Amino acid sequence: MSTINIQVNGKKHICEEAIKLPELLTELELNPRLIAVEYNGEILHRQNWEKTTVKEGDRLEVVTIVGGG
């Protein structure tokens, strides 16, 4: 399978072509329950993650949700 170049939190990342977002998050060792994802400049609602295939040149910003008081 070929690879693509994307940006994750401003850094270049190489991944498999046609990877689904949840698979990429697992590859990045991120807990999906504790993050929010901005995909190409827009917040991506969790119900759309499974339908989202990462493509060449995509930009993701992944933010970890932190609890506290």
CATH number for the domain including 39? Answer: 3.10.20.30
CA distance 67 to 20: 28
Hey, what are 38's tokens? 């901005």
- Does 9 map to a domain? yes
CA distance 56 to 68: 37
Q: Does the pLDDT value for residue 69 go beyond 70?
A: no
- Does 69 map to a domain? no
- Per-residue pLDDT of 11-58, as tens digits, reads 999 999 989 999 999 999 999 899 999 999 999 999 999 999 999 999
Instruction: Provide the residue range defining the domain that includes 7.
Output: 3-64
CA distance 55 to 3: 10
- Does 45 map to a domain? yes
**Domain count of the fold of the chain:** 1
- Does 40 map to a domain? yes
Element (H, E) at 21: helix 21-27
